[in-house]
Structures are given as structure tokens and as C-alpha cells.
Amino acid sequence: MSNKDIVAEGARHFRDYKHYKNPYQPGTDAFNDFERGWVQALKRANLSNANTCFRSWPENDAPYDPSPSGP
């Protein structure tokens, strides 16, 4: 798959799901291209209430908890 196709895939993923879940291995060109497409789609959507915490690790399937952790 070309990088242009992966960028488009990231944009489609944003439009279809709104959450960020990158299927590619971190640190690869494909990972970066997918992320680029997703973020470009986010910026173009101009969502005023968008969550600014987008992470790509597998544990992010759980809901985001903004409360500080610790004692």
C-alpha cells in the first residue's frame, strides 16, 4: 500500500470512528502516514469539543480517565 493510500486510510478512520487507533507498528512510515491522515482529518473537521488527548497504545481501548493517578 502506498503512503498516499495509508494517509487516506487514516482520514477515513477519523471520519468513520473519531477515535484514534493506529493499526501499524509504531515508528514505521506506515504508522506515521496513518497518523498524518487522521490528524489532517481532525484539523479539517474543526471540532470545537474534540478531546486533545490522542494516544496510539493498545491500552487506549479503555475510556480516557483524566484524573491524576497516585496516592
The C-alpha atoms of residue 28 and residue 70 are separated, in whole angstroms, by 33
Q: Per the domain annotation, does 43 fall within a domain?
A: yes
Query: Which residue range(s) make up the domain with 51?
Result: 3-61
The pLDDT of residue 60: 47
The predicted model gives 6-34 an average pLDDT of 89
The pLDDT of residue 47: 63
Domain count, the chain: 1
Q: Per the domain annotation, does 69 fall within a domain?
A: no
Q: Per the domain annotation, does 7 fall within a domain?
A: yes
- Using DSSP's 3-state secondary structure scheme, residue 24 falls into coil
Q: Pinpoint the alpha helices (H) of 20-63.
A: 29-45
pLDDT digits (tens, 9 = 90+) for 40-65: 998 888 665 555 554 444 554 544 44
Identity of residue 57: W
Q: Per the domain annotation, does 19 fall within a domain?
A: yes
What is the overall mean pLDDT for the chain? 75
The torsion angle over the Cα atoms of residues 4, 9, 11 and 14, rounded to 10 degrees, is -160
Model confidence pTM above 0.75: no
Identity of residue 15: R
Q: Per the domain annotation, does 28 fall within a domain?
A: yes
Q: Per the domain annotation, does 22 fall within a domain?
A: yes
Q: Per the domain annotation, does 27 fall within a domain?
A: yes
Identity of residue 64: Y
Model confidence at 11: pLDDT above 60? yes
